[in-house]
Amino acid sequence: MRHNLLLYILLIFSLISKAEGVDSLQLLLNKKTHDTVDVLRIIKFGQKNTPNNPKEALGFLKQGLKIAQEVNFKPGVAKAYVAIGYAFRSMSQFDSARVYYNVSIEMFKKLGRNKDLITAYNNLGVIEKEIGNFPKAIEYYIQSLNIATGMKDNRGIGRAYSNIGIVYRNMKNFDKALEYQLKALHYDSVGNEKNSIGKTYANIGNIYLEKQDYTTAVDYFERSLKIFGQTNDKPSLAIIYNNTAEAYSLMNDFKKAMQYARAGLELAEEIKDPMLKGLNMMLLGELNDKQGFYQVSEKNFKEALAIFEKVGSTTKMKDVYSGMGEMYRKSKQYEKAIECFDKYSGLKDSLFNSDFTAQISEMEQKYQSVEKQKEIEILKQSENIKDLQLKQKNITIYAGIVLGAVLLFFIFFIYRSLQQKKKTNELLANQNEEITRQKFIIEEKNKDIIDSLNYAQRLQENILPPDGFVQKLFPESFVFYKPKDIVSGDFYWVEPNGDDVFIAAVDCTGHGVPGAIMSIVGNNLLHKIVKEEKITSCEKILDSLVVNLVKYLRQEAGNERISNDGMDVALCKVNLKTGKTQYAGAFNPILVISQSGVSEYKADKFSIGRHTYEAGYRFKETTFTLEKGSMLYLFSDGFADQFGGVKGKKFMRKNFYALLKEISSLPASVQKERLQTTFYDWKQNITQVDDICVLGVRI
């Protein structure tokens, strides 16, 4: 989506500063002698101009590299390699970019410049992310994270976490993406990095945008705009205006979408940034297309295309042709549509067929020239030795014979050793080949398993009530739902029934795949009991759930494959008009926080499952009336049982209750954010021990 590109440009603009004009730089390049300051000025100019004209910038950067090599300014050489890599990356020539980045990494290692290594590994991660090699991208980001952690560099740690979060967002693993963005937000806040906080808010907004939770997305974009307004970061403001416009467009609120898009365009024109202006014009073209204003849309697209042609941005030209072709198709201008789609296809192919050989060959020639110079020196030394041998021929002839005999002995000895070593190497090579083959098989199997689990996750998420459905029934509500693994044994269930709404938080036996299967069974049984069996009493619903589960899992006595699988449940029925509430629980209590205080309603001390069925236990319900404005919380035990903190102990239920009491007066969305932040701060690097499900609704 376009907002991925916008954040990418935001990162660029946060790293560069204003530089000289082309004329003054040309005078600088024409100087007869240069120093390290000149090198840094040339590199900074190249970086500044890369987003708008990467080809021209590349020419300046290569001259800067040459000057840095001439004055033997090694840090400048390394920085030039990074800047050249960035220029190639901007032109989508990823192979060339990768070569230059890797050379810079080797130089930074030798120079001991860990701060620059953090950036270099992040750059490699960006390349792998752009070409869709997500595991490799995360590997590079983790290398960056490890260095930043060792240096206690909060900014570097936050940036690495944010980049990992972006990869997970591209993989559509939104829970993981949100987890890492919240980690980034924590470290940004510790270092009081306002611009980084603004970018992280924007990243979180984009996650919610892709989750189709547009209201929350706009909320985070507004937070980002507030910060960039305080720092007067106009390029960033322009980009977030675009993101916000896209959110409102997806909500079909075109009036607000156009307001934000025009605000972004005004800023782009004010700061005289052609790329940002082009992106804004493309967005306006899409918005006018959606509203059926095809003539205006065509004008917007053509203006965007002219800008991208001028700066030589093939990638953006491709996007414009795609949008314009769709507009022509909808307006039944089929010949123009076909022409645009043909140009789109041609540009798309060209991006993947660029010839990178010349650039790599240039690097190889530099290395080869160094090797040839070494060979010349060796030949000169050989000639000197030969002259000396001729002068001393009579003296050394007998010594030569003796030396020859000794050499023959050593040659024989070395020959035998080499033969043995050859056999050993062949054996090792065969073993390495087998290890590589097995590694490939394992990686393929792991990929298949992960793909299957991700698909299962989407199925499970589709069964759960969407956030919009819950918020329609309870406008002030939240769900903090975080599986331990990809799929979860916890689930939540919300079912309207006339003026009543059933709400449940359920913790099934196990987690991962077994727990997920149990959660689907539990969800289906609850629906069947209420909708088909017409049972509306909380205690009787749980009694029926016991019977149905035992039958479904065939847990009756005599079954050789009998299991003890079951679930813990907190179930409420809330009347939306009167606030009258029923509650029944199987091990899972609930918490009510109002102006009158904090009330815990305890559950029966037995679970939904075989033992309860065989013992003939019956659940008991409690009835009470919720005050207006009070918060009702249902939850599993995953949050309270999480290990963490300084001593690696459990969070504990009393601390969980204290946290809920502290945040209960806040808006629901902020309560959810506080729960997430507290959880990640507590857990740190300790593995999550169980699935987590917390529901909060305000009456």
* Check whether domain 464-698 has CATH 3.40.50.980, yes or no: no
Cβ burial of 148 (10 Å; 0-12, 13-18, 19+) is: buried
366 — pLDDT class (breaks 50, 70, 90): very low
Q: What does the pLDDT look like over 156-185, one tens digit per residue?
A: 888 889 999 988 888 888 888 899 999 988
Q: What per-residue confidence (pLDDT) applies to 663? A: 94
Please give the helix or strand (H or E) that residue 624 lies within, else none. Answer: strand 622-625
Q: What does the pLDDT look like over 115-136, one tens digit per residue?
A: 888 888 988 888 887 777 778 8
| Positions of E strands within 465-589 | 477-482, 490-497, 500-508, 567-575, 580-586
Q: Give the mean model confidence (pLDDT) for residues 353-380.
A: 40
The Cα-based distances of 464 to 433, 524, 598, 697 in angstroms read 46, 11, 29, 17
Cβ burial of 423 (10 Å; 0-12, 13-18, 19+) is: exposed
Contact present, 617 and 604 (Cβ < 8 Å): yes
Quick check: 267 pLDDT over 80? yes
Residue type, 462: N
456 — pLDDT class (breaks 50, 70, 90): low
Q: What does the pLDDT look like over 304-315, one tens digit per residue?
A: 889 888 866 676
648 — pLDDT class (breaks 50, 70, 90): confident
85 — pLDDT class (breaks 50, 70, 90): confident
DSSP letter, residue 608: B
Q: What per-residue confidence (pLDDT) applies to 575? A: 95
φ/ψ of residue 608, rounded to 5: -80, 115
545 — pLDDT class (breaks 50, 70, 90): very high
User: Phi-psi region for residue 498, left (φ > 0), alpha (ψ -120 to 50) or beta?
Assistant: left
Rounded distance, CA 658 to CA 678, Å? 12
Please give the residue that has the higher pLDDT: either 518 or 535: 535
Q: Which of 304, 249, 299 is nearest to 280 (CA)?
A: 304
Quick check: 9 pLDDT over 50? no
Quick check: 234 pLDDT over 60? yes
Please give the residue that has the higher pLDDT: either 60 or 367: 60
Please give the residue that has the higher pLDDT: either 456 or 6: 456
Q: What per-residue confidence (pLDDT) applies to 125? A: 87
The Cα-based distances of 522 to 3, 41, 213, 464, 634 in angstroms read 39, 66, 26, 12, 17
583 — pLDDT class (breaks 50, 70, 90): very high
Q: What per-residue confidence (pLDDT) applies to 529? A: 94
Quick check: 364 pLDDT over 60? no
**Domain spans, the chain:** 374-455, 464-698
Quick check: 365 pLDDT over 60? no
Among the listed ranges 10-14, 263-267, 276-280, 482-486, which one has the minimum average pLDDT value? 10-14
113 — pLDDT class (breaks 50, 70, 90): confident
Please give the helix or strand (H or E) that residue 247 lies within, else none. Answer: helix 234-250
Among the listed ranges 66-70, 289-293, 606-610, which one has the minimum average pLDDT value? 66-70
DSSP letter, residue 7: H
Quick check: 634 pLDDT over 70? yes
Q: Highest-confidence range of 14-23, 437-446, 624-633, by mean pLDDT? A: 624-633
Quick check: 18 pLDDT over 60? no
Q: What per-residue confidence (pLDDT) applies to 374? A: 40
Q: What does the pLDDT look like over 378-434, one tens digit per residue?
A: 445 545 545 555 555 555 555 556 665 666 665 666 666 667 766 766 676 666 666
Quick check: 608 pLDDT over 80? yes
Provide, rounded to the nearest whole percent, the portion of the chain with pLDDT above 70.
Answer: 77
Provide the b/e sequence for 425-444 (b: ≥16 CB within 10 Å).
eeeeeeeeeeeeeeeeeeee
Q: Give the mean model confidence (pLDDT) for residues 434-454.
A: 64
Q: What per-residue confidence (pLDDT) applies to 19? A: 37
Q: What per-residue confidence (pLDDT) applies to 679? A: 92
Strands 580-586 and 567-575, how do they pair?
A: antiparallel
DSSP letter, residue 211: T
Strands 692-698 and 631-635, how do they pair?
A: antiparallel
Quick check: 371 pLDDT over 50? no
Rounded distance, CA 187 to CA 204, Å? 15
Q: What per-residue confidence (pLDDT) applies to 409? A: 61
Rounded distance, CA 653 to CA 642, Å? 10
Q: What per-residue confidence (pLDDT) applies to 451? A: 62
Q: What per-residue confidence (pLDDT) applies to 391? A: 55
pTM above 0.95, yes or no: no
Rounded distance, CA 660 to CA 294, Å? 52
Supply the mean pLDDT for the chain.
80
The residues pairing with 634 across neighbouring beta strands, listed in sequence order, are: 590, 695
Contact present, 599 and 591 (Cβ < 8 Å): yes
Q: Give the mean model confidence (pLDDT) for residues 368-381.
A: 44
Q: What does the pLDDT look like over 87-97, one tens digit per residue?
A: 887 777 878 88
Q: Give the mean model confidence (pLDDT) for residues 255-279.
A: 85
Q: Highest-confidence range of 244-253, 451-460, 478-487, 658-667, by mean pLDDT? A: 658-667
Quick check: 539 pLDDT over 60? yes
Provide, rounded to the nearest whole percent, the portion of the chain with pLDDT above 90.
Answer: 25
Among the listed ranges 275-289, 363-377, 467-481, which one has the minimum average pLDDT value? 363-377
Please give the helix or strand (H or E) that residue 643 lies within, else none. Answer: strand 643-644
Rounded distance, CA 180 to CA 200, Å? 10
